[in-house]
Structure 1
Amino acid sequence: MPGTSTTPRIEVAFAARDRLGETPIWCDRTQRLWWVDIEDPTLHCLDPVTGVHWSEAHEGQYLGSCGLHRDGGLVLARDLSLVRRRDDGRLDQLAEVESGIDNRLNDGRVDARGRLWIGTMDNALHRPSGSLYRVDPDGTVMRQFGGVIVSNGIAFSPDGRTLHFTDTRRYISWAFDLDLDEGTLRNRRVFADFTQGRDRPDGACVDQDGCLWMAIFAGGRIVRLTPDGRIDRTVVLPVTNPTCLCFGGADLSTLFVTTARKFLSEQQLAAEPLAGSLLAIHGLGRGLPEHRFGP
Protein backbone atom coordinates (compact mmCIF):
# COMPACT_ATOMS: atom_id res chain seq x y z
CA MET A 1 0.00 0.00 0.00
CA PRO A 2 1.68 3.28 -1.10
CA GLY A 3 2.21 6.13 1.30
CA THR A 4 2.84 6.37 5.00
CA SER A 5 0.24 4.58 7.13
CA THR A 6 -0.80 6.55 10.21
CA THR A 7 -3.19 6.04 13.10
CA PRO A 8 -4.45 9.47 14.15
CA ARG A 9 -7.19 9.99 16.70
CA ILE A 10 -10.48 8.75 15.28
CA GLU A 11 -13.76 9.51 17.07
CA VAL A 12 -17.42 8.85 16.41
CA ALA A 13 -18.99 12.22 15.63
CA PHE A 14 -22.44 10.67 15.39
CA ALA A 15 -23.45 7.02 15.72
CA ALA A 16 -25.67 6.84 12.66
CA ARG A 17 -26.79 3.68 10.89
CA ASP A 18 -26.69 5.07 7.38
CA ARG A 19 -27.14 2.58 4.58
CA LEU A 20 -25.12 4.89 2.33
CA GLY A 21 -23.94 7.97 4.20
CA GLU A 22 -22.42 10.49 1.81
CA THR A 23 -21.26 14.02 0.89
CA PRO A 24 -20.54 15.67 4.26
CA ILE A 25 -20.32 19.44 3.96
CA TRP A 26 -19.34 22.00 6.60
CA CYS A 27 -21.28 25.26 6.91
CA ASP A 28 -18.96 27.95 8.28
CA ARG A 29 -21.90 30.29 8.95
CA THR A 30 -23.73 27.97 11.32
CA GLN A 31 -20.76 25.80 12.39
CA ARG A 32 -22.76 22.70 11.53
CA LEU A 33 -22.17 19.65 9.40
CA TRP A 34 -24.65 18.41 6.80
CA TRP A 35 -24.66 15.02 5.10
CA VAL A 36 -27.10 12.58 3.48
CA ASP A 37 -28.06 8.93 3.57
CA ILE A 38 -28.57 8.33 -0.13
CA GLU A 39 -30.59 5.12 -0.15
CA ASP A 40 -32.73 5.79 2.91
CA PRO A 41 -33.21 9.33 1.63
CA THR A 42 -32.45 11.36 4.75
CA LEU A 43 -30.81 14.72 5.33
CA HIS A 44 -28.68 14.92 8.48
CA CYS A 45 -27.38 17.93 10.41
CA LEU A 46 -24.99 17.90 13.37
CA ASP A 47 -23.65 20.55 15.73
CA PRO A 48 -20.38 18.88 16.79
CA VAL A 49 -19.91 21.18 19.79
CA THR A 50 -23.27 20.47 21.45
CA GLY A 51 -23.83 17.06 19.90
CA VAL A 52 -27.31 18.10 18.77
CA HIS A 53 -28.37 16.04 15.75
CA TRP A 54 -31.34 16.59 13.48
CA SER A 55 -32.57 14.61 10.47
CA GLU A 56 -35.25 14.94 7.82
CA ALA A 57 -36.68 12.23 5.56
CA HIS A 58 -37.15 13.11 1.88
CA GLU A 59 -39.42 11.89 -0.86
CA GLY A 60 -38.06 10.01 -3.82
CA GLN A 61 -35.77 7.03 -4.06
CA TYR A 62 -32.39 8.72 -3.62
CA LEU A 63 -30.93 11.81 -1.98
CA GLY A 64 -27.67 11.96 -3.88
CA SER A 65 -25.77 14.89 -2.38
CA CYS A 66 -26.05 18.33 -0.83
CA GLY A 67 -24.35 21.71 -1.17
CA LEU A 68 -24.55 25.14 0.42
CA HIS A 69 -26.62 27.96 -1.09
CA ARG A 70 -25.34 31.54 -1.10
CA ASP A 71 -28.64 32.93 0.22
CA GLY A 72 -28.95 30.33 2.95
CA GLY A 73 -30.16 26.77 2.99
CA LEU A 74 -28.99 23.96 0.75
CA VAL A 75 -29.00 22.59 -2.76
CA LEU A 76 -30.17 18.96 -2.71
CA ALA A 77 -29.85 16.31 -5.42
CA ARG A 78 -33.03 14.23 -5.33
CA ASP A 79 -33.17 11.39 -7.87
CA LEU A 80 -32.43 13.30 -11.12
CA SER A 81 -33.56 16.77 -10.00
CA LEU A 82 -31.99 19.61 -8.03
CA VAL A 83 -34.00 21.47 -5.41
CA ARG A 84 -33.21 24.31 -3.05
CA ARG A 85 -34.05 23.66 0.58
CA ARG A 86 -34.61 26.96 2.36
CA ASP A 87 -33.77 27.41 6.02
CA ASP A 88 -37.44 27.04 6.93
CA GLY A 89 -37.64 23.68 5.12
CA ARG A 90 -39.46 24.87 1.99
CA LEU A 91 -38.31 23.28 -1.26
CA ASP A 92 -37.97 25.06 -4.62
CA GLN A 93 -37.27 23.29 -7.89
CA LEU A 94 -33.96 24.37 -9.44
CA ALA A 95 -33.37 22.06 -12.39
CA GLU A 96 -34.10 18.66 -13.88
CA VAL A 97 -30.71 17.32 -14.89
CA GLU A 98 -31.79 14.13 -16.69
CA SER A 99 -34.98 12.22 -17.34
CA GLY A 100 -36.17 8.91 -18.73
CA ILE A 101 -33.04 6.98 -17.80
CA ASP A 102 -32.14 4.56 -15.00
CA ASN A 103 -29.64 6.98 -13.45
CA ARG A 104 -29.49 9.18 -10.37
CA LEU A 105 -27.54 12.24 -9.30
CA ASN A 106 -24.53 11.56 -7.14
CA ASP A 107 -21.52 13.58 -5.97
CA GLY A 108 -21.44 17.34 -6.56
CA ARG A 109 -19.51 20.44 -5.51
CA VAL A 110 -19.75 24.20 -6.04
CA ASP A 111 -16.88 26.10 -7.65
CA ALA A 112 -15.50 29.53 -6.78
CA ARG A 113 -17.99 31.27 -9.11
CA GLY A 114 -21.07 29.66 -7.57
CA ARG A 115 -21.64 26.97 -10.21
CA LEU A 116 -22.50 23.40 -9.23
CA TRP A 117 -20.56 20.57 -10.87
CA ILE A 118 -22.44 17.31 -10.40
CA GLY A 119 -22.47 13.86 -11.93
CA THR A 120 -25.04 11.20 -12.66
CA MET A 121 -24.49 7.45 -12.33
CA ASP A 122 -25.98 4.14 -13.38
CA ASN A 123 -28.30 2.68 -10.75
CA ALA A 124 -27.14 -0.81 -11.78
CA LEU A 125 -23.48 0.18 -11.19
CA HIS A 126 -22.07 -1.17 -14.44
CA ARG A 127 -23.46 0.74 -17.45
CA PRO A 128 -21.60 3.86 -18.68
CA SER A 129 -24.81 5.91 -18.78
CA GLY A 130 -23.74 8.72 -16.45
CA SER A 131 -22.41 12.18 -17.24
CA LEU A 132 -20.79 15.21 -15.64
CA TYR A 133 -22.80 18.44 -15.66
CA ARG A 134 -22.28 22.10 -14.86
CA VAL A 135 -25.33 23.79 -13.35
CA ASP A 136 -25.28 27.58 -13.39
CA PRO A 137 -26.90 29.73 -10.69
CA ASP A 138 -29.85 30.46 -13.01
CA GLY A 139 -30.57 26.72 -13.30
CA THR A 140 -29.05 26.23 -16.76
CA VAL A 141 -27.71 22.69 -17.09
CA MET A 142 -24.70 22.07 -19.36
CA ARG A 143 -23.53 18.51 -20.02
CA GLN A 144 -19.73 18.23 -20.07
CA PHE A 145 -19.12 14.59 -21.08
CA GLY A 146 -20.63 11.11 -20.75
CA GLY A 147 -19.43 7.54 -20.50
CA VAL A 148 -19.50 7.61 -16.70
CA ILE A 149 -20.48 4.59 -14.61
CA VAL A 150 -20.35 6.01 -11.04
CA SER A 151 -19.53 9.71 -10.76
CA ASN A 152 -17.62 10.72 -7.64
CA GLY A 153 -14.73 12.65 -6.11
CA ILE A 154 -15.54 16.15 -7.37
CA ALA A 155 -13.17 18.64 -5.72
CA PHE A 156 -11.29 21.82 -6.60
CA SER A 157 -7.70 22.89 -6.07
CA PRO A 158 -7.16 25.83 -3.66
CA ASP A 159 -6.93 28.30 -6.57
CA GLY A 160 -10.11 26.83 -8.08
CA ARG A 161 -8.46 26.17 -11.44
CA THR A 162 -8.20 22.38 -11.25
CA LEU A 163 -11.28 20.16 -11.07
CA HIS A 164 -10.93 16.58 -9.82
CA PHE A 165 -13.42 13.95 -10.96
CA THR A 166 -13.57 10.21 -10.29
CA ASP A 167 -15.41 7.28 -11.83
CA THR A 168 -15.46 4.77 -8.98
CA ARG A 169 -16.29 1.76 -11.14
CA ARG A 170 -13.58 2.60 -13.66
CA TYR A 171 -11.12 2.89 -10.73
CA ILE A 172 -9.68 6.15 -12.07
CA SER A 173 -9.58 9.78 -10.94
CA TRP A 174 -8.95 12.53 -13.47
CA ALA A 175 -7.91 16.17 -13.26
CA PHE A 176 -9.05 18.98 -15.58
CA ASP A 177 -8.01 22.57 -16.08
CA LEU A 178 -11.02 24.76 -15.19
CA ASP A 179 -11.46 28.19 -16.76
CA LEU A 180 -13.28 30.01 -13.98
CA ASP A 181 -14.38 32.87 -16.23
CA GLU A 182 -15.88 30.66 -18.92
CA GLY A 183 -16.82 27.63 -16.79
CA THR A 184 -15.14 25.27 -19.24
CA LEU A 185 -12.92 22.22 -18.82
CA ARG A 186 -9.87 21.22 -20.84
CA ASN A 187 -6.73 19.09 -20.61
CA ARG A 188 -8.30 15.96 -19.16
CA ARG A 189 -5.61 13.75 -17.66
CA VAL A 190 -5.35 10.77 -15.33
CA PHE A 191 -4.64 11.95 -11.79
CA ALA A 192 -4.70 8.60 -9.98
CA ASP A 193 -5.12 5.12 -11.44
CA PHE A 194 -6.41 2.38 -9.12
CA THR A 195 -7.13 -0.20 -11.81
CA GLN A 196 -4.32 -2.56 -10.85
CA GLY A 197 -5.64 -3.16 -7.35
CA ARG A 198 -9.25 -2.41 -8.38
CA ASP A 199 -9.62 -0.09 -5.40
CA ARG A 200 -12.80 1.98 -5.48
CA PRO A 201 -11.97 5.70 -5.17
CA ASP A 202 -15.02 7.49 -3.77
CA GLY A 203 -15.65 10.98 -2.37
CA ALA A 204 -12.84 13.52 -2.00
CA CYS A 205 -11.87 16.93 -0.67
CA VAL A 206 -8.81 19.18 -0.91
CA ASP A 207 -6.78 20.52 2.00
CA GLN A 208 -4.97 23.85 2.36
CA ASP A 209 -1.80 22.32 0.94
CA GLY A 210 -3.56 21.34 -2.27
CA CYS A 211 -3.54 17.63 -1.48
CA LEU A 212 -6.57 15.51 -2.32
CA TRP A 213 -8.04 13.37 0.47
CA MET A 214 -10.03 10.42 -0.89
CA ALA A 215 -12.19 7.68 0.63
CA ILE A 216 -11.51 4.15 -0.65
CA PHE A 217 -14.87 2.38 -0.61
CA ALA A 218 -14.66 -1.30 0.36
CA GLY A 219 -11.00 -0.61 1.21
CA GLY A 220 -11.30 0.43 4.85
CA ARG A 221 -9.12 3.50 4.50
CA ILE A 222 -8.71 7.06 3.33
CA VAL A 223 -5.66 8.31 1.45
CA ARG A 224 -4.03 11.64 0.73
CA LEU A 225 -2.68 12.30 -2.75
CA THR A 226 -0.15 15.03 -3.44
CA PRO A 227 -0.84 17.49 -6.29
CA ASP A 228 1.08 15.19 -8.65
CA GLY A 229 -1.21 12.23 -7.81
CA ARG A 230 1.13 10.33 -5.49
CA ILE A 231 -0.31 8.73 -2.33
CA ASP A 232 1.77 10.00 0.58
CA ARG A 233 -0.52 9.17 3.51
CA THR A 234 -2.92 6.37 4.38
CA VAL A 235 -5.27 6.23 7.36
CA VAL A 236 -6.80 2.86 8.21
CA LEU A 237 -10.37 3.08 9.51
CA PRO A 238 -12.50 0.81 11.75
CA VAL A 239 -15.03 0.38 8.91
CA THR A 240 -14.89 -1.24 5.48
CA ASN A 241 -16.87 1.40 3.57
CA PRO A 242 -15.79 5.03 3.94
CA THR A 243 -17.66 7.04 1.32
CA CYS A 244 -16.78 10.74 1.43
CA LEU A 245 -15.06 13.32 3.59
CA CYS A 246 -14.70 17.02 4.32
CA PHE A 247 -12.81 19.27 6.70
CA GLY A 248 -14.87 21.10 9.31
CA GLY A 249 -14.85 22.53 12.79
CA ALA A 250 -14.10 26.10 13.84
CA ASP A 251 -10.60 26.02 12.32
CA LEU A 252 -11.34 23.43 9.59
CA SER A 253 -8.96 20.95 11.22
CA THR A 254 -11.38 18.04 11.77
CA LEU A 255 -11.78 15.59 8.91
CA PHE A 256 -15.34 14.23 8.92
CA VAL A 257 -15.87 10.91 7.13
CA THR A 258 -19.22 9.39 6.16
CA THR A 259 -19.54 5.61 5.99
CA ALA A 260 -21.93 2.95 4.70
CA ARG A 261 -23.51 -0.31 5.78
CA LYS A 262 -24.37 -1.19 2.18
CA PHE A 263 -22.91 -4.43 0.78
CA LEU A 264 -21.85 -5.69 4.23
CA SER A 265 -23.00 -9.13 5.38
CA GLU A 266 -24.64 -9.69 8.75
CA GLN A 267 -21.34 -11.07 10.01
CA GLN A 268 -19.46 -8.01 8.83
CA LEU A 269 -22.01 -5.68 10.37
CA ALA A 270 -21.70 -7.49 13.69
CA ALA A 271 -17.93 -7.03 13.53
CA GLU A 272 -18.19 -3.36 12.49
CA PRO A 273 -20.47 -1.55 14.96
CA LEU A 274 -19.35 1.81 13.53
CA ALA A 275 -20.41 1.02 9.95
CA GLY A 276 -22.84 3.74 8.83
CA SER A 277 -21.59 6.22 11.42
CA LEU A 278 -20.08 9.67 10.93
CA LEU A 279 -16.41 9.65 11.97
CA ALA A 280 -14.20 12.57 12.99
CA ILE A 281 -10.42 12.43 12.56
CA HIS A 282 -8.01 14.91 14.11
CA GLY A 283 -4.47 15.89 13.27
CA LEU A 284 -4.49 15.52 9.48
CA GLY A 285 -4.21 19.17 8.47
CA ARG A 286 -6.74 21.84 7.58
CA GLY A 287 -9.28 22.26 4.85
CA LEU A 288 -10.82 25.09 2.88
CA PRO A 289 -14.26 26.74 3.23
CA GLU A 290 -16.91 25.39 0.88
CA HIS A 291 -18.15 27.59 -1.94
CA ARG A 292 -21.87 28.39 -2.17
CA PHE A 293 -24.26 27.99 -5.07
CA GLY A 294 -25.67 31.22 -6.42
CA PRO A 295 -24.79 34.45 -8.27
Structure 2
Amino acid sequence: MATSAWAEPKLFESRQVTPAGEYTFGIEGPAADIDGNLFVVNLGKPGTIGKLAVGSAQSEKFISLPEGSVGNAIRFDRDGTMFIADYKKHNIFAIRKGSLEPEVYFHSEQMNQPNDLTIASGGTIYASDPNWKAHAGQIWRISKGTDGQVQGKVMTASRAMGTTNGIDLSPDGKTLYVGESLTGQLWAYTISGNELTSAQLLKTFEPDTIDGLRTDVDGKLLIARIQKGTISVMDPDSKLIQDVVLQGKEPTNLAFGGADGRTVFVTQRQGGYIEGFRTDKEGREHCLQKGNC
Protein backbone atom coordinates (compact mmCIF):
# COMPACT_ATOMS: atom_id res chain seq x y z
CA MET A 1 0.00 0.00 0.00
CA ALA A 2 1.15 3.53 -0.72
CA THR A 3 1.53 5.90 2.19
CA SER A 4 -0.93 8.79 1.84
CA ALA A 5 0.50 11.04 4.53
CA TRP A 6 4.14 12.10 4.46
CA ALA A 7 4.87 12.55 8.14
CA GLU A 8 8.52 13.36 8.77
CA PRO A 9 10.30 9.98 8.79
CA LYS A 10 13.75 9.05 9.99
CA LEU A 11 16.58 9.89 7.63
CA PHE A 12 17.36 7.22 5.02
CA GLU A 13 14.25 5.19 5.90
CA SER A 14 12.51 4.43 2.61
CA ARG A 15 8.81 3.80 2.10
CA GLN A 16 6.44 3.38 -0.79
CA VAL A 17 4.91 6.64 -2.06
CA THR A 18 2.63 5.60 -4.97
CA PRO A 19 0.53 2.50 -5.63
CA ALA A 20 2.10 -0.53 -7.30
CA GLY A 21 1.43 -0.94 -11.01
CA GLU A 22 1.14 2.75 -11.91
CA TYR A 23 4.17 2.61 -14.18
CA THR A 24 5.43 0.12 -16.75
CA PHE A 25 8.58 -2.02 -16.58
CA GLY A 26 10.27 1.02 -18.17
CA ILE A 27 9.76 3.27 -15.13
CA GLU A 28 12.72 5.64 -15.16
CA GLY A 29 13.96 9.19 -15.31
CA PRO A 30 12.60 10.81 -12.14
CA ALA A 31 13.13 14.56 -11.84
CA ALA A 32 11.53 17.20 -9.63
CA ASP A 33 10.81 20.80 -10.55
CA ILE A 34 11.47 23.69 -8.21
CA ASP A 35 7.89 23.51 -6.92
CA GLY A 36 8.42 19.92 -5.77
CA ASN A 37 6.39 18.15 -8.44
CA LEU A 38 7.96 14.86 -9.53
CA PHE A 39 7.96 13.66 -13.14
CA VAL A 40 8.56 10.04 -14.18
CA VAL A 41 8.48 8.34 -17.59
CA ASN A 42 6.08 5.62 -18.73
CA LEU A 43 2.94 6.01 -16.65
CA GLY A 44 0.60 3.20 -17.68
CA LYS A 45 2.17 2.74 -21.11
CA PRO A 46 5.41 3.61 -22.93
CA GLY A 47 5.75 7.14 -24.28
CA THR A 48 3.96 8.90 -21.45
CA ILE A 49 5.22 11.07 -18.61
CA GLY A 50 3.56 10.94 -15.23
CA LYS A 51 3.39 13.67 -12.63
CA LEU A 52 3.33 13.18 -8.89
CA ALA A 53 2.07 16.47 -7.53
CA VAL A 54 3.32 17.84 -4.23
CA GLY A 55 1.69 16.00 -1.35
CA SER A 56 -0.01 13.45 -3.59
CA ALA A 57 0.21 9.67 -3.25
CA GLN A 58 -0.93 8.92 -6.80
CA SER A 59 0.52 9.93 -10.17
CA GLU A 60 -1.43 11.58 -12.96
CA LYS A 61 -0.67 11.85 -16.64
CA PHE A 62 1.37 14.92 -17.57
CA ILE A 63 1.88 14.46 -21.32
CA SER A 64 2.37 11.91 -24.07
CA LEU A 65 5.48 12.22 -26.22
CA PRO A 66 5.15 12.23 -30.03
CA GLU A 67 4.24 8.89 -31.62
CA GLY A 68 7.07 6.36 -31.39
CA SER A 69 9.11 8.30 -28.82
CA VAL A 70 9.80 6.79 -25.40
CA GLY A 71 11.49 8.70 -22.61
CA ASN A 72 14.21 7.34 -20.37
CA ALA A 73 15.55 10.35 -18.46
CA ILE A 74 14.25 13.73 -17.33
CA ARG A 75 16.20 16.71 -16.02
CA PHE A 76 15.45 20.37 -15.28
CA ASP A 77 17.73 23.33 -15.93
CA ARG A 78 17.91 26.45 -13.79
CA ASP A 79 15.20 28.15 -15.90
CA GLY A 80 12.73 25.35 -15.22
CA THR A 81 12.91 23.84 -18.71
CA MET A 82 12.34 20.08 -18.68
CA PHE A 83 14.63 17.99 -20.88
CA ILE A 84 13.72 14.43 -21.83
CA ALA A 85 15.95 11.77 -23.40
CA ASP A 86 13.98 9.87 -26.05
CA TYR A 87 15.92 6.65 -26.54
CA LYS A 88 13.71 5.31 -29.32
CA LYS A 89 13.89 8.26 -31.72
CA HIS A 90 17.30 9.69 -30.68
CA ASN A 91 15.89 13.01 -29.50
CA ILE A 92 16.41 15.32 -26.58
CA PHE A 93 13.07 17.05 -26.04
CA ALA A 94 12.61 20.36 -24.23
CA ILE A 95 9.40 21.46 -22.52
CA ARG A 96 9.49 25.09 -21.49
CA LYS A 97 8.19 26.03 -18.06
CA GLY A 98 4.42 26.41 -18.22
CA SER A 99 4.14 24.52 -21.51
CA LEU A 100 2.83 21.04 -22.32
CA GLU A 101 4.41 20.87 -25.77
CA PRO A 102 7.67 18.93 -26.23
CA GLU A 103 10.04 20.50 -28.76
CA VAL A 104 12.99 18.68 -30.34
CA TYR A 105 15.97 20.38 -28.73
CA PHE A 106 18.57 18.07 -30.27
CA HIS A 107 18.50 15.04 -32.56
CA SER A 108 21.21 12.81 -33.98
CA GLU A 109 21.07 9.50 -35.82
CA GLN A 110 24.61 8.90 -34.54
CA MET A 111 23.17 8.18 -31.11
CA ASN A 112 22.79 4.59 -29.97
CA GLN A 113 20.03 5.47 -27.52
CA PRO A 114 20.29 8.52 -25.24
CA ASN A 115 19.87 7.11 -21.77
CA ASP A 116 20.52 9.46 -18.87
CA LEU A 117 21.12 13.21 -18.66
CA THR A 118 22.72 15.76 -16.42
CA ILE A 119 22.80 19.55 -16.81
CA ALA A 120 25.54 22.01 -15.83
CA SER A 121 24.82 25.43 -14.33
CA GLY A 122 25.41 27.10 -17.71
CA GLY A 123 22.91 24.85 -19.46
CA THR A 124 25.26 22.34 -21.08
CA ILE A 125 23.71 18.88 -21.23
CA TYR A 126 25.73 15.69 -20.85
CA ALA A 127 24.00 12.54 -22.10
CA SER A 128 25.04 8.93 -21.63
CA ASP A 129 24.64 6.84 -24.77
CA PRO A 130 25.14 3.10 -24.29
CA ASN A 131 25.51 0.44 -26.95
CA TRP A 132 24.25 -2.56 -25.03
CA LYS A 133 25.00 -5.16 -27.70
CA ALA A 134 28.60 -4.02 -28.12
CA HIS A 135 29.13 -3.57 -24.35
CA ALA A 136 30.30 -0.04 -25.16
CA GLY A 137 29.13 3.53 -24.79
CA GLN A 138 29.86 7.22 -25.14
CA ILE A 139 28.98 10.62 -23.72
CA TRP A 140 27.42 13.48 -25.67
CA ARG A 141 27.98 17.14 -24.88
CA ILE A 142 25.02 19.24 -26.05
CA SER A 143 25.09 23.03 -25.82
CA LYS A 144 24.23 26.24 -27.62
CA GLY A 145 26.91 27.81 -29.79
CA THR A 146 27.67 31.52 -30.01
CA ASP A 147 25.06 31.74 -32.78
CA GLY A 148 22.39 30.31 -30.47
CA GLN A 149 22.17 27.05 -32.39
CA VAL A 150 22.18 23.80 -30.42
CA GLN A 151 25.21 21.63 -31.13
CA GLY A 152 25.98 18.12 -30.00
CA LYS A 153 29.24 16.20 -30.10
CA VAL A 154 30.48 12.89 -28.79
CA MET A 155 33.10 13.66 -26.14
CA THR A 156 36.57 12.24 -26.51
CA ALA A 157 37.80 10.21 -23.56
CA SER A 158 41.09 8.86 -22.31
CA ARG A 159 39.73 5.29 -22.26
CA ALA A 160 37.25 3.13 -24.14
CA MET A 161 33.99 3.31 -22.22
CA GLY A 162 31.68 0.45 -21.34
CA THR A 163 27.88 0.62 -21.27
CA THR A 164 27.45 4.21 -20.09
CA ASN A 165 24.33 4.65 -17.98
CA GLY A 166 23.85 6.75 -14.83
CA ILE A 167 25.47 10.18 -15.03
CA ASP A 168 25.82 13.32 -12.93
CA LEU A 169 28.11 16.25 -12.20
CA SER A 170 30.02 17.29 -9.12
CA PRO A 171 28.68 20.45 -7.42
CA ASP A 172 31.43 22.58 -8.97
CA GLY A 173 30.66 21.20 -12.44
CA LYS A 174 34.25 20.12 -13.08
CA THR A 175 33.83 16.36 -12.65
CA LEU A 176 31.51 14.05 -14.55
CA TYR A 177 30.51 10.78 -12.89
CA VAL A 178 29.52 7.92 -15.19
CA GLY A 179 28.30 4.47 -14.25
CA GLU A 180 28.91 1.54 -16.60
CA SER A 181 26.17 -0.99 -15.99
CA LEU A 182 27.47 -4.28 -17.34
CA THR A 183 30.79 -4.09 -15.49
CA GLY A 184 29.37 -2.37 -12.40
CA GLN A 185 32.09 0.27 -12.59
CA LEU A 186 31.74 3.89 -11.52
CA TRP A 187 34.14 6.35 -13.19
CA ALA A 188 35.02 10.00 -12.62
CA TYR A 189 36.32 12.28 -15.39
CA THR A 190 37.62 15.83 -15.45
CA ILE A 191 35.75 17.92 -18.01
CA SER A 192 37.96 19.93 -20.38
CA GLY A 193 35.79 21.37 -23.14
CA ASN A 194 34.74 18.40 -25.25
CA GLU A 195 37.29 16.09 -23.61
CA LEU A 196 36.92 13.78 -20.64
CA THR A 197 40.34 13.51 -19.04
CA SER A 198 41.95 12.06 -15.90
CA ALA A 199 39.76 8.95 -15.87
CA GLN A 200 39.52 7.55 -12.36
CA LEU A 201 37.85 4.28 -11.40
CA LEU A 202 36.04 5.11 -8.16
CA LYS A 203 34.33 1.83 -7.41
CA THR A 204 33.60 -1.57 -8.91
CA PHE A 205 30.28 -3.05 -7.84
CA GLU A 206 28.97 -6.42 -8.94
CA PRO A 207 28.22 -6.58 -12.70
CA ASP A 208 24.74 -5.40 -13.72
CA THR A 209 23.96 -3.84 -10.34
CA ILE A 210 24.21 -0.08 -10.98
CA ASP A 211 21.79 2.16 -12.84
CA GLY A 212 21.00 5.85 -12.26
CA LEU A 213 22.92 8.14 -9.92
CA ARG A 214 22.72 11.62 -8.41
CA THR A 215 24.96 13.95 -6.42
CA ASP A 216 24.11 16.17 -3.49
CA VAL A 217 25.47 19.63 -2.65
CA ASP A 218 28.31 18.11 -0.63
CA GLY A 219 29.41 16.02 -3.59
CA LYS A 220 28.21 12.70 -2.22
CA LEU A 221 27.02 10.21 -4.84
CA LEU A 222 23.80 8.24 -4.50
CA ILE A 223 23.73 5.21 -6.81
CA ALA A 224 20.72 3.06 -7.67
CA ARG A 225 21.74 -0.58 -7.07
CA ILE A 226 19.36 -2.43 -9.36
CA GLN A 227 18.91 -6.10 -8.36
CA LYS A 228 20.33 -5.21 -4.92
CA GLY A 229 17.41 -3.16 -3.64
CA THR A 230 19.53 -0.36 -2.19
CA ILE A 231 20.81 3.14 -2.84
CA SER A 232 24.55 3.21 -2.19
CA VAL A 233 25.80 6.49 -0.72
CA MET A 234 29.46 7.32 -1.40
CA ASP A 235 31.63 10.29 -0.60
CA PRO A 236 33.59 11.99 -3.44
CA ASP A 237 36.69 9.99 -2.45
CA SER A 238 34.78 6.75 -3.23
CA LYS A 239 34.32 5.69 0.39
CA LEU A 240 31.02 3.84 0.83
CA ILE A 241 29.10 5.61 3.58
CA GLN A 242 25.98 3.46 3.70
CA ASP A 243 23.45 1.45 1.75
CA VAL A 244 19.87 2.69 2.04
CA VAL A 245 17.59 -0.35 2.06
CA LEU A 246 14.59 0.04 -0.25
CA GLN A 247 11.15 -1.55 -0.36
CA GLY A 248 11.73 -3.00 -3.85
CA LYS A 249 14.72 -4.82 -5.32
CA GLU A 250 14.97 -3.10 -8.72
CA PRO A 251 15.61 0.65 -8.37
CA THR A 252 16.29 2.16 -11.79
CA ASN A 253 16.97 5.79 -10.90
CA LEU A 254 16.50 8.50 -8.30
CA ALA A 255 15.96 12.24 -7.93
CA PHE A 256 16.10 14.82 -5.16
CA GLY A 257 12.87 16.74 -4.62
CA GLY A 258 10.50 18.07 -2.01
CA ALA A 259 10.36 21.64 -0.77
CA ASP A 260 13.94 21.56 0.53
CA GLY A 261 15.48 19.20 -2.04
CA ARG A 262 16.16 16.59 0.63
CA THR A 263 13.58 13.97 -0.32
CA VAL A 264 15.03 11.28 -2.56
CA PHE A 265 12.47 9.68 -4.88
CA VAL A 266 13.33 6.27 -6.34
CA THR A 267 11.73 4.61 -9.37
CA GLN A 268 11.13 0.91 -8.74
CA ARG A 269 10.91 -1.42 -11.73
CA GLN A 270 9.81 -4.21 -9.41
CA GLY A 271 6.18 -3.24 -8.86
CA GLY A 272 6.16 -0.14 -11.04
CA TYR A 273 5.96 2.42 -8.25
CA ILE A 274 7.84 5.28 -6.62
CA GLU A 275 9.32 5.12 -3.15
CA GLY A 276 11.23 7.74 -1.22
CA PHE A 277 13.32 8.65 1.78
CA ARG A 278 14.64 11.74 3.49
CA THR A 279 18.34 12.55 3.34
CA ASP A 280 20.65 14.95 5.16
CA LYS A 281 21.64 17.17 2.23
CA GLU A 282 19.97 18.93 -0.68
CA GLY A 283 20.44 17.56 -4.18
CA ARG A 284 22.74 19.39 -6.59
CA GLU A 285 20.03 19.75 -9.22
CA HIS A 286 17.52 21.19 -6.75
CA CYS A 287 20.12 23.72 -5.62
CA LEU A 288 20.80 24.56 -9.27
CA GLN A 289 17.12 25.30 -9.92
CA LYS A 290 17.01 27.64 -6.93
CA GLY A 291 19.94 29.54 -8.43
CA ASN A 292 22.24 28.83 -5.51
CA CYS A 293 24.59 26.42 -7.28
Band of TM-score, shorter chain: 0.7 to 0.9
Q: Percent identity over the alignment? A: 23
Task: Look up the match of 2:197.
Answer: 186
> Runs ≥4 in structure 1, deviation > 4 angstroms?
69-72, 145-149
Residues 24-54 of structure 1: CA deviation (Å, up to 9, x unaligned): 11211x3211221398222122123244633
Shift of 1:145: 4.2
Contact 2:11 2:279 in 1 (8 A): no
Task: Look up the match of 1:266.
Answer: none
| Aligned-partner SS, 1:169 | coil
Task: Look up the match of 1:84.
Answer: 94
Task: Look up the match of 2:6.
Answer: none
Contact 1:132 1:144 in 2 (8 A): yes
Shift of 1:193: 1.3
Shift of 1:208: 2.4
1:48 is the counterpart of 2:54: yes
Residue 97 (structure 1) aligned to one of 100, 108, 113: 108
Contact 1:18 1:259 in 2 (8 A): no
Contact 1:199 1:219 in 2 (8 A): no
Quick one: structure 1 residues 211 and 44, their matched pair in 2 at CA, closer, same or farther if it must change by over 3 Å? same
Distance between the aligned counterparts of 1:129 and 1:226, measured in 2?
27
Task: Look up the match of 2:278.
Answer: 282
Contact 2:16 2:247 in 1 (8 A): no
Shift of 1:150: 3.2
Task: Look up the match of 2:7.
Answer: none
1:74 is the counterpart of 2:74: no
Task: Look up the match of 1:167.
Answer: 180
Distance between the aligned counterparts of 2:107 and 2:279, measured in 1?
40
Distance between the aligned counterparts of 1:115 and 1:61, measured in 2?
23
Distance between the aligned counterparts of 1:218 and 1:192, measured in 2?
17
Residue 130 (structure 1) aligned to one of 116, 123, 137: 137
Shift of 1:134: 0.3
Distance between the aligned counterparts of 1:7 and 1:208, measured in 2?
17
- Report the number of matched residues: 265
Contact 1:255 1:284 in 2 (8 A): no
Range moving further from structure 2, 55-64 or 203-212 = 55-64
Quick one: structure 1 residues 73 and 52, their matched pair in 2 at CA, closer, same or farther if it must change by over 3 Å? farther
| Aligned-partner SS, 2:211 | strand
Residues 259-293 of structure 1: CA deviation (Å, up to 9, x unaligned): 114xxxxxxxxxxxxx221111124433223447x
Shift of 1:209: 2.2
Contact 1:191 1:229 in 2 (8 A): yes
1:115 is the counterpart of 2:119: no
| Aligned-partner SS, 1:289 | helix
Contact 1:168 1:200 in 2 (8 A): yes
Residues 96-119 of structure 1: CA deviation (Å, up to 9, x unaligned): 1334x7x31101110122100002
TM-score normalised per structure 1: 0.80
Residue 170 (structure 2) aligned to one of 143, 157, 160: 157
Quick one: structure 1 residues 218 and 72, their matched pair in 2 at CA, closer, same or farther if it must change by over 3 Å? same
Distance between the aligned counterparts of 1:33 and 1:160, measured in 2?
24
TM-score normalised per structure 2: 0.81
1:25 is the counterpart of 2:38: no
| Aligned-partner SS, 1:66 | strand
Runs (5+) with no aligned partner, structure 1:
1-5, 262-274
Residue 241 (structure 1) aligned to one of 250, 265, 271: 250
Distance between the aligned counterparts of 1:18 and 1:46, measured in 2?
15
Task: Look up the match of 2:5.
Answer: none
